[in-house]
Amino acid sequence: MKLIIHGGFFSESSQSDETKFAKQKSLKNIAEKSFEFLKNHSASETVVFAVSLLEDDPLFNAGIGSQIQRDGKIRMSASLMDSATQKFSGVINIQNVKNPVLVAKALMNEDDRVLGDTGAKQYAEQHGFEDFSTEISQRRSEYEAKVKSEGKGTVGCVALDKDGRLAAATSTGGKGFELPGRISDSATVAGNFANSYCAVSCTGVGEDIVSNGTAVKIATRVTDGLSIQHAFQKTFIELKEIDGFAGAIAIDHLGNIHHQESHPTMVFASYDGNEFRIFD
């Protein structure tokens, strides 16, 4: 069993040591809780559990910590992919829910598994997800101040369970002050992908990740026989050719964990029950 999570990027120039320590503490806590959960649950269930905890922490740009688009509204995207079923589900630009990744999980049971905007919100309402607009409205000015002063990033989790199944989940609140309706990579296979050989979750600039096809490229290269390290290396060389900004976490079917970023510093933590690693 293996697990790795990420919470976007940390900027030494714009973020304080206090914020850094808070993120390290939060990631360590969430990684440990998620690994305990993994002992009795599938990889797919675990990545949703971990990402929901990250969505509940306002330190990160997802769920209640989401950034605001140019019209003052919060639109979130999240996705889930499971190697056991080879299915992908997600929501794009959903509003007024606490945990978009839980809506993405519910969509795994549908024939139409990726919904956007009002359709995603209607589905959430019909399936018992509470409206979260009041809470988000109350925090909006606080979020705006944090975006301007600190910046945050997309969250994600990749897990390998005891039965050898892989899964990845990713959730985001966007870039911050982007054009209303802008779509990120997080609910696409460029930003979140898993098959029986490799699972990958990305963070960074969505347009660059989509242009590079980062997650699906890494997984495909591992499937075709490259080591996870070489798959990352080749994919990030191609990312550099377009001056792309991204980070990714991954686990392969052999249990190898890998992460890489184009710019310092991606916020991550990994745990296998013995060795714990966290960003510096």
- Catalytic residue selected from 19, 46, 154, 235: 154
Instruction: Give the pair of three-digit tokens for residue 178.
Output: 């982007």
| Sheet architecture: strand order including 276-278 | 114-116, 87-94, 76-82, 166-172, 155-160, 2-9, 266-271, 276-278
82 is in an annotated binding site: no
Q: Is 235 annotated as a binding residue?
A: no
- Long-range Cβ contacts of 218-222 (<8 Å, 24+ apart): 218/193, 218/248, 218/250, 219/193, 219/194, 219/195, 219/250, 222/197, 222/198, 222/250, 222/252
C-alpha span between 80 and 257 (Å, rounded) = 19
Q: Is 182 assigned a ligand-binding role in the annotation?
A: yes
Nearest to 7 by CA among 249, 195, 182, 257: 249
Which residue shows structure tokens 């030494």? 12
Q: Is 203 annotated as a binding residue?
A: yes
Is 206 flagged in the annotation as binding? yes
185 known member of a binding site: yes
The SS3 assignment for 151 reads coil
214 tagged catalytic: no
Helix, strand, or coil (residue 10): coil
Q: Is 44 annotated as a binding residue?
A: no
CA distance 138 to 119: 25
Closest of 266, 54, 253 to residue 172, by C-alpha: 54
Strand 2-9 versus strand 266-271 pairing type: antiparallel
**Whole-angstrom distance, CA of residue 52 vs CA of residue 170:** 10
Catalytic positions:
154
- Could you list the residues known to form a binding site, using ranges: 182-185, 203-206
- Could you list the residues known to form a binding site for substrate, using ranges: 182-185, 203-206
